[in-house]
Structure 1
Amino acid sequence: MEFTLGQIAAILQGKVEGDESQKVSRLDKIQDGSQGGISFLANEKYTPFIYDTEATAVIVSHHFIPTKTLKTNLIRVDDAYTGFTKLLEAYAMLMKNSAVGVEEPSFIDPSSQIGEQAFRGAFSYIGKNCRIGESVKLYSHVHIGDRVQVGDNTIIHAGAKICADSIIGSNCEIHPGAVIGSDGFGFAPQGDGSYKAIPQIGNVVLEDNVSVGANSTIDCATMGSTIIKRGAKIDNLVQIAHNVVIGENTVIASQTGISGSTVIGKNCVIAGKAGIVGHIKIADNTTIGANTGVSKSISKPGTTLFGYIGMDMKNFLKSYSIFKNLEGIVDRIKELEKKQ
């Protein structure tokens, strides 16, 4: 797709300095810019590149004053970083919404309904009694199980699996290989040491504006629902077990595991490789550091945990300052003992 600089300036509510009729079709780094590309300058350390870049245009803030002759056109906005982010969002939206129609072969059961302006990629499958909203994009090899509901403008990328009875809200994005609604890990120990599977008859509910990363799994509830609330963002390779509740606008980084029936509050930040045991509650606005293990409920909003097992961050850092000097402390104790 090609856009004139004038069109881009209109999107960003900015002003062109140069030839607004010139066209761009690509987003470039400023140091690698070439004709037909557009870049941005937000960090001062990249300023030298603006005088040599071959990019057709560079987005800059209003306060930028060049000290040398420029070869590129400028688009001035209030904040260059925010402006470029807005351009990225507009570009991504155009790309995501460009696919419409049906690629063959694909399958939809006659009992299911799908809205207008939707897209079904090759080898996608929609089971019985499903309700798929308007402008939904189902890319190749997406599997939609029976009785699934998907809201308007949701995008489900290649190879994702939405198991039976799942409810997906509007404006969600589910990335390649994610599995929504797989069986929860429920097994009852038997007298002979074996385990008997407990039927998992609940479902998963994703509210609006939820993002689920590639190859993440969200298990269905044993009974009731596993719930991911509005605006939550889940990274790649995250495991969320049965009957978990994730609060609004909580973000969870890669390789985190959350055990069954745990309730996590809103606006929490959970860093990579965190491990959270089951049947506990995490208060709103909690931050859990990378590799942190959480073994008990967190009742105070705004708590920051760090270390394994998770403890108050300030206490952990104090303890760690002692631990890293432990060898010297032990030597001093031995010397004192010798003098006694």
Structure 2
Amino acid sequence: MEFTVQQIADLLQGTVEGDNQIKVSTLAKIEEAQAGALAFLSNPKYEPFLYSTQGSAVIVSDKLEVKKPVSAALIRVSDPYSSFSTLLHYYHTALLASKTGVEEPCHMGAESQIGENHYRGAFSYIGNNCRIGQNVRIFPQVYIGDNVRIGDNTTIFAGAKLYTNTEVGSNCTIHAGAVLGSDGFGFAPQPDGTYKAIPQIGNVVLEDEVSIGANATIDCATMGATRIRKGTKIDNLVQIAHNVEVGQNTVIASQTGISGSTKIGDNCVIAGQVGIVGHISIANKTTVGAQSGVSKSVKETGTIIQGSPAFDYKQNLRAMTVFRKLPELQREVELLKAKSED
């Protein structure tokens, strides 16, 4: 794909300084860009590369004052980072749109339906009585069980597994190896010390515009639904247990585990390697720092917590300062103890 600088500026609602008819065909980092590449400058730390880049065009802030001659054409916008992200989105969408048709061998079960302009990769499997929307991309070796519902414009990458009765909204992305609808971890202890499996008969529901990272797992509900609400983004290697509810536009980073029946609010930020116990609630706009252990409900909107067990972020920082000084404090106590014994 090849575009003129002016076409890109029109897309981003920006203005051009320099030759607006230069053509670009690829995207690159500003420090690595070569002829034909488009880059962007957002962080002032990288401004020196603006004067040495070999790229054909650079997206920059409309407030940037250029201090030296620049060989590349400049596309001036209000927010270079967001504009470049928008461009990446269009580029990625165009690449996905190029995948159409049905590769063989693949399987679609009885009474299943799929919309127009779809793609089904080789060795993909669709069970019985499924309803799949338009412009859906199903990559090779995807498994879709019986009675699954998938909305328009959703992409499911290679090797993902959607168990029976899973529901996925429109404009969702499910990355390679993700598993939706596997059994929740439910076992009843028996008098003889063994465990009896509790049947998990619920499902998983993803609302619109949800992203699920590679090798993430979302368990089906014991009854009802494990629900991920609109706009939420879940990173690779996240575990979400049965009957969890995650609110709208929440982000959850890698290696986080959320135990059963916990409710996460809207617009929360949960950093990497966080553990959250079951049957608690996390208020809207809560931020949980990395490697925290959340053992009780968070009730106030906008709370920031850190640590294990997690508590107020600023108090945690003060506690860590004291913790680092404990060896020194211990020596002082031992010296005072020795003096008192003299």
Q: Name the TM-score, length of structure 2 as normaliser.
A: 0.95
Q: Distance in 1 between matches of 2:189 and 2:79?
A: 60
Q: Distance in 2 between matches of 1:183 and 1:314?
A: 39
* Partner of residue 300, structure 1: 300
1:8, CA displacement in angstroms? 0.9
Q: Distance in 1 between matches of 2:182 and 2:235?
A: 18
Q: 1:69 to 1:323 in 2, by over 3 A?
A: closer
Q: Distance in 2 between matches of 1:65 and 1:329?
A: 53
| Higher alpha-carbon deviation: 145-154 or 86-95 | 86-95
| Higher alpha-carbon deviation: 163-172 or 48-57 | 48-57
* Partner of residue 85, structure 1: 85
Q: Distance in 2 between matches of 1:78 and 1:255?
A: 35
* Partner of residue 183, structure 1: 183
* Partner of residue 276, structure 2: 276
1:17, CA displacement in angstroms? 2.5
Could you give the per-residue CA deviations for residues 306-330 of structure 1, whole angstroms, max 9, x where no partner exists? 1111122233222222221112222
1:19, CA displacement in angstroms? 2.6
Q: Distance in 2 between matches of 1:22 and 1:235?
A: 38
* Partner of residue 250, structure 1: 250
1:174, CA displacement in angstroms? 0.5
* Partner of residue 265, structure 2: 265
1:9, CA displacement in angstroms? 1.4
Which amino acid in 2 is paired with 1:31?
Answer: E
- Mapped pair 1:324 → 2:335: no
Q: 1:269 to 1:79 in 2, by over 3 A?
A: closer
Q: Distance in 1 between matches of 2:110 and 2:192?
A: 47
| 1:58-77 alignment, distance < 5 Å | 58-77=58-77
Q: Distance in 1 between matches of 2:300 and 2:19?
A: 56
| Higher alpha-carbon deviation: 236-245 or 13-22 | 13-22
Which amino acid in 2 is paired with 1:189?
Answer: P
| 1:149-298 alignment, distance < 5 Å | 149-298=149-298
Q: 1:45 to 1:281 in 2, by over 3 A?
A: closer
Q: Distance in 2 between matches of 1:216 and 1:169?
A: 18
Q: Distance in 2 between matches of 1:142 and 1:8?
A: 35
Segments ≥4 residues shifted beyond 6 Å:
none
* Partner of residue 25, structure 1: 25
| 1:2-13 alignment, distance < 5 Å | 2-13=2-13
1:217, CA displacement in angstroms? 0.2
Aligned length: 340
- Mapped pair 1:125 → 2:105: no
Which amino acid in 2 is paired with 1:216?
Answer: A
Q: Distance in 1 between matches of 2:284 and 2:259?
A: 18
| Higher alpha-carbon deviation: 301-310 or 267-276 | 301-310
Could you give the per-residue CA deviations for residues 239-268 of structure 1, whole angstroms, max 9, x where no partner exists? 000111111111111001111111111111
- Mapped pair 1:46 → 2:49: no
Q: Which runs of 5+ in 2 are unaligned?
A: none
Q: Distance in 2 between matches of 1:66 and 1:10?
A: 22
Q: 1:63 to 1:288 in 2, by over 3 A?
A: closer
* Partner of residue 146, structure 1: 146
Q: Distance in 1 between matches of 2:32 and 2:141?
A: 36
Q: Which runs of 5+ in 1 are unaligned?
A: none
Q: 1:216 to 1:318 in 2, by over 3 A?
A: same
Could you give the per-residue CA deviations for residues 30-51 of structure 1, whole angstroms, max 9, x where no partner exists? 1111111111122223222222
What SS class does the counterpart of residue 226 from structure 2 fall into? strand
Q: Distance in 1 between matches of 2:17 and 2:98?
A: 31
What SS class does the counterpart of residue 31 from structure 1 fall into? coil
What SS class does the counterpart of residue 315 from structure 2 fall into? helix
| 1:78-117 alignment, distance < 5 Å | 78-117=78-117
What SS class does the counterpart of residue 171 from structure 2 fall into? coil
Q: Distance in 2 between matches of 1:64 and 1:310?
A: 42
| Higher alpha-carbon deviation: 142-151 or 295-304 | 295-304
Could you give the per-residue CA deviations for residues 89-127 of structure 1, whole angstroms, max 9, x where no partner exists? 211221222222111111111310001111111111110
What SS class does the counterpart of residue 31 from structure 2 fall into? helix
Q: Name the TM-score, length of structure 1 as normaliser.
A: 0.96
1:80, CA displacement in angstroms? 2.3
Which amino acid in 2 is paired with 1:84?
Answer: F
Q: Distance in 1 between matches of 2:211 and 2:129?
A: 25
Q: Distance in 1 between matches of 2:264 and 2:193?
A: 33
Which amino acid in 1 is paired with 2:259?
Answer: S
Which amino acid in 2 is paired with 1:169?
Answer: G
1:12, CA displacement in angstroms? 1.1
